[in-house]
Structure 1
């Protein structure tokens, strides 16, 4: 049997109440040339039996035993059994809308620069309304519909919804795909692909219903803590925009700016100054680094300015002000909240 065009990697652990709908939503889609590789990752409920039934009913579903070794190991196992040109992700509690894979393949076929695409997402919960902060994140993510926009925003938050993506298998293999470690595996993959020169973007269509719950790994696993995201940002800033040895200034001496700075210093990056609006901080030193006011910023060209402002409206105001003053985003400054 020839390899399908898309193989969907679907790890599942204790998801007996949701995994059938997740798989069925893929099988009911408008792109039939797929294979769903479901990995039972050590479930103690009826997940394995549900997946066995689905595999018996449809030859496009296959079941692998992940042995309870975790998400990344499950993805690595499934990828090793994949031979299709495109590899998609799916979580066991989400729902793909009909055109998800068809639209993803169309986009990848149309633009060979892209290593992968995500889709627009619709958040939902069974028990309560989705939080405003998560809704705001989804709205931001849904707006990253060009490689240029996603590249510009890559150091803010994870710019793709992991279970919505469809990726070129060759790009995954060339960069080492998912890696296990003390960091969020999906954000690490996006930064690694971009660092290798690949493009990524989100499709404008809402093509995934993305479930939020109190049990999500992003809420329960320390690898998804904010400081681990900041560590990844520092790691790739040091190997990308700051690899030329330029000093950097950090706008924002709050918790995010100081944590990012500590990781940058560990990477050997020289931080020249902090820029702050808080009057009690201006004129002081933090770990020996002077804190100056925005009025003392001066013209561009002195180094790279990292804007570590977490409040979105404030960051957008600052971004617009810097641009109006001749600072070029991506060359003179980057947003890295």
Structure 2
């Protein structure tokens, strides 16, 4: 018999997920911590999703289906939030697998660490040549675990696989749920909550298998395009710099290539002013771009005189840049914030 009171609500939106939904639900019913409800929102599916949810609900009263007309992922998530009755809310997708101790481990973290408001975990990812880009992202996010890392590296990429998180329900009431717009709804939510001082962390364990179907929204939806990512991060980065950059609105952008300048233009749209570009290419150094000087790395002034925003997306180049800035006395989160 399931406990009468649930301390956990698992928010699971699903649209035409009949082929993967049973395995996802089975992974939840196999959890070592039993005091949860699964708020499964069927977003107007046209396959056998509704039948599967009804069958599982008859089998276990912790499965609580919500049926709605098709309204998209943001509508489904926010509808589900209104039906979540527990103090902790975990996310889950219908094509992913929660490992048996996932809910127990994450809930224990929230219960024992009262300063943490959102807890994620490391994820495993099925690798093949076709998804090598996602695999690199997973490798990166699996190394972004501490609250300081999450705060200081949030503008590089989304620090979490969306279905890996668990958070205190009060965050929704204090800072709002998912927003609709031309941006990835999960990344915008993390950036907004971090902007409001929400403390986030990640367990060291791998507790979720994050699958990669070819029709994943992050592959197909224009809200998850590269431009959409950079626009929403530019908005929140500009807000962060206004508070943390003593030279606001002036910044120094590391990178003077075409793509970097395109990303930098999104920051100028937010009211930031580029004092200089930094580049390592000899043919760029010393040649102003639209009146903005281009410095070599050793032209960078001493720490305390400017704020550097690296916008070079290559992971190897980013590591080299951050290492060089460290040798010059620059400090992550104090006078450097990487944003690509």
Q: SS where residue 333 of structure 1 aligns?
A: coil
Q: Which residue of 1 aligns with 2:36?
A: 34
Q: Which residue of 2 aligns with 1:67?
A: 69
Displacement of 1:90 in angstroms is 0.4
Q: Which residue of 2 aligns with 1:239?
A: 239
Q: Which residue of 2 aligns with 1:111?
A: 113
Aligned CA distance change for structure 1 residues 130 and 204 (closer, same or farther; 3 Å): farther
Match of 1:286 among 247, 269, 289: 289
Q: Which residue of 1 aligns with 2:174?
A: 174
Q: Which residue of 1 aligns with 2:201?
A: 201
**C-alpha distance in 2, partners of 1:266/1:248?**
14
Aligned residues: 335
**C-alpha distance in 2, partners of 1:306/1:109?**
36
Kindly indicate whether residue 296 of structure 2 is the aligned counterpart of residue 258 of structure 1: no
Q: SS where residue 73 of structure 1 aligns?
A: helix
Q: Which residue of 2 aligns with 1:76?
A: 78
Higher strand share: 1
Q: SS where residue 289 of structure 1 aligns?
A: coil
Displacement of 1:256 in angstroms is 4.3
Q: Which residue of 1 aligns with 2:146?
A: 146
Q: SS where residue 83 of structure 1 aligns?
A: coil
Q: Which residue of 2 aligns with 1:45?
A: 47
**C-alpha distance in 2, partners of 1:133/1:253?**
24
Displacement of 1:286 in angstroms is 2.9
Displacement of 1:142 in angstroms is 1.3
Kindly indicate whether residue 179 of structure 2 is the aligned counterpart of residue 184 of structure 1: no
**C-alpha distance in 2, partners of 1:47/1:74?**
14
Displacement of 1:199 in angstroms is 1.1
Q: SS where residue 201 of structure 1 aligns?
A: strand
Displacement of 1:215 in angstroms is 0.6
Kindly indicate whether residue 158 of structure 2 is the aligned counterpart of residue 155 of structure 1: no
Kindly indicate whether residue 59 of structure 2 is the aligned counterpart of residue 57 of structure 1: yes
**C-alpha distance in 1, partners of 2:4/2:178?**
26
Displacement of 1:94 in angstroms is 0.5
Q: Which residue of 1 aligns with 2:122?
A: 120
Displacement of 1:302 in angstroms is 2.3
Q: SS where residue 172 of structure 2 aligns?
A: helix
Long gaps (5+) in structure 1? none
Q: Which residue of 2 aligns with 1:331?
A: 334
**C-alpha distance in 1, partners of 2:218/2:290?**
31
**C-alpha distance in 2, partners of 1:105/1:177?**
20
Kindly indicate whether residue 315 of structure 2 is the aligned counterpart of residue 312 of structure 1: yes
Q: Which residue of 2 aligns with 1:17?
A: 19
Comparing 292-301 with 64-73, which one deviates more in the overlay? 292-301
Q: Contact 2:264/2:311 (CA < 8 Å) preserved in 1?
A: no
Runs of 4+ displaced beyond 4 Å: none
Aligned CA distance change for structure 1 residues 77 and 3 (closer, same or farther; 3 Å): farther
**C-alpha distance in 1, partners of 2:106/2:190?**
17
Match of 2:104 among 88, 102, 105: 102
Q: Contact 2:119/2:202 (CA < 8 Å) preserved in 1?
A: yes
Q: Contact 2:249/2:271 (CA < 8 Å) preserved in 1?
A: no
Q: Contact 1:251/1:275 (CA < 8 Å) preserved in 2?
A: yes
**C-alpha distance in 2, partners of 1:317/1:110?**
38
Long gaps (5+) in structure 2? none
**C-alpha distance in 2, partners of 1:194/1:36?**
26
TM-score by length of 1: 0.95
Displacement of 1:174 in angstroms is 0.8
Q: Contact 1:274/1:292 (CA < 8 Å) preserved in 2?
A: yes
Pairwise CA RMSD: 1.6
